[in-house]
Amino acid sequence: MGDVIALEEKRRRLRARRAFYPWERRFHCLFDEHTSVRDLPDAVLAVLIQPGEQCTRLLQSLVLRILTGESDVELEQLSPAQKILTIDVTLFLVDQIRFECMRRLGWVEPDPRVDTPIVDLVDQAAQGKVPAMQATPPILASHPLYAEYQKTFEGDQGAFVRKLIPRAIEEFIRRNKS
């Protein structure tokens, strides 16, 4: 039994190594099978939170490599169902990274999902095993818009938090440039 576990751990480590290789080249940091969203340096987070194709490609490539275990797989090579799954998981990961940015700014409560290694988070999301995948963390009482957030209908509070993302991105990047 121990051999099976050791083999699975080696496979996981290899998948992580393949998946994170482009990030290591891009960011000049080391990432492994234990790296969580919370572990990402501010400089890496500042790139990944930005809207646009660069961020999307970096995250989508990571998700593809984790899910397939392949180094040179492209979204276009996948079946329609696999494409949709990859896009869904990528969007989930984008959310987690942006919520972590907001947490570091002191805007939202910590989300325990960001402590899960990224490799596992991607696998869990792909298998539908992430609880409340669309959930947004609540705003902290210290945030200037907290009173307005509290008055918002509970079902709309997630949208309220998401509307703050552009401002959070701008603020996070500004703080990390200085």
- The tens digit of pLDDT for each residue in 61-80 reads 999 999 888 777 787 777 88
**The length of the chain, given as a count of residues:** 178
Asked if residue 136 lies in contact with residue 163, where contact means CB atoms within 8 angstroms, the answer is no
Find the mean pLDDT for residues 107-113. 91
Q: What is the structure's pLDDT at 38?
A: 95
Report the pLDDT averaged over residues 94-103. Answer: 95
5: left (phi over 0), alpha (psi -120 to 50) or beta: alpha
**Mind listing the pLDDT tens digit for each residue in 33-42?**
999 999 999 9
Decide if pLDDT at 1 tops 60: no
Q: Which pLDDT score, from 0 to 100, does residue 71 have?
A: 76
Q: CA geometry: angle at 176 spanning 46 and 88, to 5°?
A: 15
| pTM assigned to the model | 0.90
- Count of C-beta atoms within a 10 Å radius of residue 112: 10
Q: What is the mean pLDDT of the chain?
A: 89
Residue 93's pLDDT band, with cuts at 50, 70 and 90, is very high
* % of the chain surpassing 90 pLDDT: 61
Distance of CA 35 to CAs 20, 41, 103, 113, 119, Å?
10, 11, 18, 12, 8
pLDDT at 74: 80
DSSP, res 78: S
Q: What is the pLDDT of residue 4?
A: 59
Per-residue pLDDT band at 96 (split at 50, 70, 90): very high
**Segments in 69-156 forming alpha helices (H):** 80-104, 118-126, 146-151
Strand partners, 108: 139
Distance CA 60, CA 15 (A): 15
